Structure 1
Amino acid sequence: MQAAEVKVSPATRLAEVDLVDVGALIADAQLEIRYAGSHNFVGTPVTGYEAPKCYLLRPVAEALVQVAADVREQGYRLRLFDCYRPVRAVQHFVRWAHDLDDQRNKAEFYPNLDKSVLLDGYIAETSGHSRGATVDLSLDHCTADACAELDMGTSFDRFDTLANTDDPRIQQAAREHRDLLRAAMQRRGFRNYPLEWWHFTFQPEPTPQTAYDIPVR
């Protein structure tokens, strides 16, 4: 039987557990940290996100630096939506999911689902993100003038089977973009979660039994 996760106190500093600032390591990454703002399924800044920053455990961050270098050679940049996620943020998600009266962002994030089913496979009561080895991301294509996010077939955090990485309904261009992202991540040790094209976990996880609850600052 797998041991239960141990939660690290919020009084602990991020640096004490070697959670490092990915934005400082990958200067050209686009940080679109959704839960630090209001453009997310909850519709408000999420508890525990006090700054729009991406933290990962050092070995994971170093692997992501390698991914960034690989895709940069092909004219792409990383767009980061979420990285380490405090336990308190996950608890905020669960409270929101139980509040069936709050439907403000249904049209964008779960148009084809009743909110009552989101805790059944879409929103987890514990998250691998809290272990500091999981990242949600996409790719931007860059020219001399600007960068623009690739079409991945759905937006980030779309609660729908269309977001499954290999969903057969996705158009060819978007399928190729998903394959490009998955191949780049797999090359450096990240495994995709098949139900979400954007979700990758580094293998092996450095601290697989530790859930951190330190605010992102």
Structure 2
Amino acid sequence: MKPYQAIPICDRSEPLVPIPRDRFPLVEPHAYQSLGAPYGNQSPYSLRAGVLAALTEAQDQLQRQHSGWHIQIFDAFRPLAVQRFMVEHTFTEQVQARGWITEALTPAQRDEVMAEVAQFWAMPSNDPATPPPHSTGAALDVTLIDAAGSVVDMGSPIDEVSPRSHPDHFADRTTPVEQTFHAHRTLLNQAMESAGFRRHPNEWWHFSLGDQLWAWLRRQETGSDKFLAHYGRASVDLWVQ
């Protein structure tokens, strides 16, 4: 159990709404759907209505500083089955990267790999009190597109399981290209934070607004326990096509 999962949830029952394709560039084909993740008829490009409104505000703020730039959506809503699929997929990838065989892992090896995966992936939980952030419709993974339509280089790809994914990994580096990576990450964070989002401590690309992680981060910032989660696990009856 992660510290933020102790935050109480008072769900606002806002609908899940589609992210408008004419406003935000989407990564297509979607990475997890391409792997066979079980979305059924649910779209990964959906958010709670209030979160989408804040995302629009964040993009407006970005474009006031950099005309023609956009926030690109890599991933947003994940049904619990997709979260489970991706945790298992990432676990297998990390086992193979070590040259190990999943069926022959020792308990210590299994714990080592899972501890690394858990730095970047929330464990799938059937408990409504501890939903994975993406399963609430209040978390999303994003990057930047410049005015020429090119993906901005952030120094590491989304979902990389490594220290390079940590938001401030390049902060103290001295080469111009590494400082540029940090500047891009800072720009993205500033735009998102200006609209109320908060960034995952381990992932430069992950932002939340209104879920347990967001509330926990706000409590850490302010020292106040008044922040609660506005969004729990999104259910089918919240879906708006």
C-alpha distance in 1 between matches for 2:7 and 2:205: 28
TM-superposed deviation, 1:88 = 1.1
Equivalences, count: 191
Q: What is the TM-score with the length of structure 1 in the denominator?
A: 0.73
Equivalent residue, structure 2, for 1:18: 15
Query: Contact (CA 8 Å) 1:55, 1:132: kept in 2 or not?
Result: yes
C-alpha distance in 1 between matches for 2:121 and 2:17: 26
For 1:22, the aligned partner's letter is I
Equivalent residue, structure 1, for 2:195: 188
| Structure 2 CA distance for partners of 1:179 and 1:209, relative to 1, 3 Å | closer
C-alpha distance in 2 between matches for 1:30 and 1:56: 15
- Describe the superposition over 1:64-109 as per-residue Cα deviations: whole angstroms up to 9, x where unpaired: 01112222331211110111111111111233355479849x9xxx
TM-superposed deviation, 1:48 = 1.5
Query: Contact (CA 8 Å) 2:199, 2:206: kept in 1 or not?
Result: yes
SS at match of 1:151: coil
Query: Contact (CA 8 Å) 1:54, 1:82: kept in 2 or not?
Result: yes
Equivalent residue, structure 1, for 2:51: 60
Equivalent residue, structure 1, for 2:122: 124
Superposition pairs of residues 43-54 of structure 1, within 5 angstroms:
44-48=35-39, 50=41, 53-54=44-45
Query: Contact (CA 8 Å) 2:167, 2:203: kept in 1 or not?
Result: yes
Could you tell me which runs of 5 or more consecutive residues in structure 1 were left unpaired when the two chains were aligned.
7-15, 39-43, 107-113
Match of 2:78 among 85, 89, 97: 85
1:172 and 2:179 aligned = yes
Query: Contact (CA 8 Å) 2:122, 2:133: kept in 1 or not?
Result: no
Using the aligned pairs only, state the percent identity.
23
C-alpha distance in 2 between matches for 1:198 and 1:93: 17
SS at match of 1:171: helix
Computing the radius of gyration from Cα coordinates, the structure with the larger value is 2
Could you tell me which runs of 5 or more consecutive residues in structure 2 were left unpaired when the two chains were aligned.
100-109, 125-131, 216-227
SS at match of 1:211: coil
> Where is the helix percentage greater, Structure 1 or Structure 2?
2
| Structure 2 CA distance for partners of 1:49 and 1:192, relative to 1, 3 Å | farther
C-alpha distance in 2 between matches for 1:3 and 1:45: 32
C-alpha distance in 1 between matches for 2:94 and 2:59: 41
Query: Contact (CA 8 Å) 2:44, 2:77: kept in 1 or not?
Result: no
C-alpha distance in 2 between matches for 1:2 and 1:162: 28
C-alpha distance in 2 between matches for 1:89 and 1:64: 23
- Describe the superposition over 1:155-200 as per-residue Cα deviations: whole angstroms up to 9, x where unpaired: 1111111110001358011110000000001100000112100001
SS at match of 2:117: coil
Equivalent residue, structure 2, for 1:37: 33
Query: Contact (CA 8 Å) 2:94, 2:113: kept in 1 or not?
Result: no
Q: What is the TM-score with the length of structure 2 in the denominator?
A: 0.66
For 1:165, the aligned partner's letter is P
Range moving further from structure 2, 51-60 or 150-159: 51-60
C-alpha distance in 2 between matches for 1:197 and 1:60: 18
C-alpha distance in 1 between matches for 2:206 and 2:121: 13
| Structure 2 CA distance for partners of 1:49 and 1:181, relative to 1, 3 Å | farther
SS at match of 1:136: strand
